[in-house]
Structure 1
């Protein structure tokens, strides 16, 4: 038995949740994946996985083993990757998922700089608000704002996104300025749909007081570009990401309202599988995007 190969297969089964999905992502026959895990269990003389017809779950012994060999395999990959990088430039395709706002406003305008430095790396960039399955879809990394729920993923914080409550001068002239967040209940507002299928709540904070409002919106959209366009069209008050609204605020198309109240700040992470993160092509992209966010005034980690 190739012990390293068996360890890698076991890690992928744990992360994928089924032998079939692990076999697909490894491009191996299902029988080979099953056999390698069985041989590993026989060699260790311990059951690592509970098997059912639909999924596998990790035994307590398997969970301990997983945590230790992930670190071991990462160190081994680091040694191999460092050696390869000293001999060759990073090359190949990196599959990335992020939200449209970050893709269109931040990443795509700067990609020419990445290609100049790494001409042999190709990027496949998906831009949507869906909750992508990294393992099942073979995605190398996801750039996402908000809390991190994937326990088996590495999450590297690369920035923060602040929000600002905005409206057009024309809207303010017609409807007046809200004095408190509660006033928004009586004014037309625009909501941004989340992956959960519900609009994001409007969040406010002042003097230690936190307030969340789930409003009855005049319009709800599912895309950040449409969200900003709707606000700039004077259709209502919106709580926009500052990085995306910066140009409209600078040229006067939008104005901040409720200035006495702070809005939420959400962390941005890049997520990747622990047994993949040391691939040279993925590493250079993640390092590049982290530096890009650090240079962006509205997205720094703070």
Structure 2
């Protein structure tokens, strides 16, 4: 939100009592901005910090709005602030419009002030963020030094609204009509083990044969163990093998496989380097599932802020240059 926007609107001189539309707009918009900030932050104090105005001004603007709507928007206690049912409905209806106005103001500032600048908040799954996203941030910052970067690694779904996430990197496309999902690189799932494990235990020749091996599973943020995905006789097939070990961090799964502890289905970006230098071998390549894709996601806007646009373009160009497509080399490596 632009600094002092709510306070400035609230203090805008009125043209006269005859102009009811202007009076209503000045009161309503300041109240809506304050209302949205409180709803996003969960408290009046945090909303006042976000807007750069006093807590009393935030409370006053919300109270004027409630009086104008003749509806109570918040349930307030000494410990919490939550939306009423009317408040939830009003939030859903107002938020897109105010975001567009704020975006229009930011676009004009960027146009006037020159090079892309400002805070860019990025959310990514943990393994992909460490392996692909984080190593590219230094080069991006050297190219766009006036953009401050914040990268958060989390397996959970991104919160573009209250979390104020600008760009998210997800494994698989997001099912949200308001989110633009642009495929960054393929997401190939490959069953891997070390050559030492293969010599001692052999490698599974079929999906069913995985039951005879020491499998290592990945537990997702939801608490559910991730399925292993395959394509058998042209049809998708998912299994959750009995696990010798389970981790909730993709890097720990990879480390366990590299130590020869067992077999795991890894994303291509994790396994490619180790497959190419012989530290890992692949199996069941003939049953590799369809590409799910790693996607760069952002909220659908008619005019993207320059800081988001240049980051998406930079990340797309440099991530694709990493050449993480290793399925074509799997038969040779598996044969070795």
Q: Determine if the TM-score, normalized by the shorter chain, exceeds 0.5.
A: yes
Q: Which has the higher contact order (CA 8 A, sep 6+)?
A: 1
The answer on whether the counterparts of 1:95 and 1:141 sit within 8 Å (CA) in structure 2 is: yes
In the TM superposition, 1:77-92 aligns within 5 A as 77-78=103-104, 80-92=106-118
Name which of 90, 110, 120 aligns with 1:94: 120
Relative to structure 1, the CA distance from residue 136 to residue 203 in structure 2 (aligned partners, 3 Å threshold; closer, same or farther) is same
Aligned counterparts of 2:129 and 2:275: Cα–Cα separation in 1: 20
Partner of 2:82: 55
Aligned counterparts of 2:207 and 2:321: Cα–Cα separation in 1: 32
* Residue 69 in structure 1 maps to residue 73 in structure 2: no
Q: Paired residues, what number?
A: 294
Q: TM-score, length-normalised on structure 1?
A: 0.77
In the TM superposition, 1:72-221 aligns within 5 A as 73-74=99-100, 77-78=103-104, 80-129=106-155, 135-146=161-172, 148=174, 154-159=179-184, 160-221=186-247
Relative to structure 1, the CA distance from residue 79 to residue 55 in structure 2 (aligned partners, 3 Å threshold; closer, same or farther) is closer
Aligned counterparts of 2:207 and 2:31: Cα–Cα separation in 1: 57
Residue 23 of structure 1: CA displacement? Answer: 5.2
Q: TM-score, length-normalised on structure 2?
A: 0.71
Relative to structure 1, the CA distance from residue 192 to residue 58 in structure 2 (aligned partners, 3 Å threshold; closer, same or farther) is same
Instruction: Give the alignment's Cα RMSD to 1 decimal.
Output: 3.6
* Residue 36 in structure 1 maps to residue 64 in structure 2: no
> Unaligned regions of 5+ residues in structure 1, if any?
none
SS at structure 2 position matched to 1:205: strand
Residue 69 of structure 1: CA displacement? Answer: 1.4
SS at structure 2 position matched to 1:236: coil
Partner of 1:228: 254
Name which of 8, 33, 51 aligns with 1:8: 33
Relative to structure 1, the CA distance from residue 13 to residue 117 in structure 2 (aligned partners, 3 Å threshold; closer, same or farther) is same
Residue 34 of structure 1: CA displacement? Answer: 4.5
Residue 247 of structure 1: CA displacement? Answer: 0.7
